Amino acid sequence: MLIAGNWKMNGDPSSLEEFGRMIARAPEAAAKGVDLVVCPPAVLIAKCADRATVSMIAVGGQDCHPDPSGAHTGDISAEMLAACGARYVIVGHSERRTDHGETDALVAKKAEAAQRGGLVAIVCVGETEAERDAGDALAVVKRQIEGSLPATLDPAGLVLAYEPVWAIGTGKTPSIDDIAEMHAHIRALLESRFPAVPVLILYGGSVKPGNAAEILAVDNVDGALVGGASLKADDFLGIALAAPNHG
Ligand code: 13P
């Protein structure tokens, strides 16, 4: 089980204290078989990684450029993230897809770049509310998975995050049946492409300590990608400790 926190554009140097509290409590999660990843804003990655010397909590980026280096003002490469101590990177988050017009093809290049740089790629997919209302959620996610995973992908360095866009930051979540249906759908897609390697599938969208136990108990839910509730150690650990025991 993997619980990943996406701090988004939140945090400043004082957040390192909160991260320190997460490190201090990481052994509680590890005792339940839960790995933790925190993806702070880029400016805090190196400082967080320097502190996260216990192997029970890893640090990740929130995005990377497809290229290893070059004239791309404001961008950061997977190699740079890795050099700062990151072990994961989120690619294709719906906020990147919306705010920056990222397409499946670009996300696939970023996933490829992540692995070239030695990082685990957390590839995000998820339907909008209109797509779900139209009955298209399964088809949209299938198309996104097919388009966002590069041909060269090593499944051992992949985590897939299902984040319905309408559940992000809204306090709304799909029904347990809808989460189960979507995760089974994603499992089938991933197993047909990578029959030999199990890929972790995370659910993301308004996961809180209060609903985590129910969501994390769903078949084919291997963890969560958490936004708002990952900013506070107590909430983040509350989610991790709600996971069913995996030993
Ligand atoms: P919230 O947990 O704030 O809904 O955000 C989910 C998310 O987008 C994580 O990447």
CA nearest neighbour of 95 among 9, 202, 215, 21? 9
Report the length, in residues, of the chain.
247
Q: What is the rounded CA–CA span in Å between residue 71 and residue 165?
A: 32
The single residue of 65, 79, 93, 112 carrying the catalytic annotation is 93
Per-residue pLDDT of 161-207, as tens digits, reads 999 999 999 999 999 999 999 999 999 999 999 999 999 999 999 99
Reply yes or no on whether the pLDDT at 247 is more than 70: no
Mean pLDDT across the stretch 61-84? 98
Active-site option among 79, 163, 183, 185? 163
Q: What pLDDT shows up at residue 91?
A: 98
Whole-angstrom Cα distance, residue 218 to residue 203? 10
Average pLDDT over residues 104-116: 98
Whether 41 and 72 have beta carbons less than 8 Å apart is answered as no
pLDDT value, residue 56: 81
Q: For residue range 207-219, list pLDDT tens digits in order.
A: 999 999 999 999 9
163 is known as an active-site residue: yes
Confidence band, pLDDT 50/70/90 cuts, at residue 53: confident
Rounded-to-integer distance, Cα 218 and Cα 176, Å: 7
Q: pTM for the full model?
A: 0.97
Region at 163 (left for phi over 0; alpha for psi -120 to 50; beta for the rest): beta
Ligand 1 atom having least distance to the Cα of 204: 6
- Domains, the chain, with CATH or none: 2-66+74-241 (3.20.20.70)
Which residues have C-beta atoms less than 6 Å from ligand 1? 6, 93, 163, 168-169, 204-207, 225-229
Check residue 54 and give its pLDDT: 67
| pLDDT in the model for residue 126 | 98
pLDDT at 6 over 90: yes
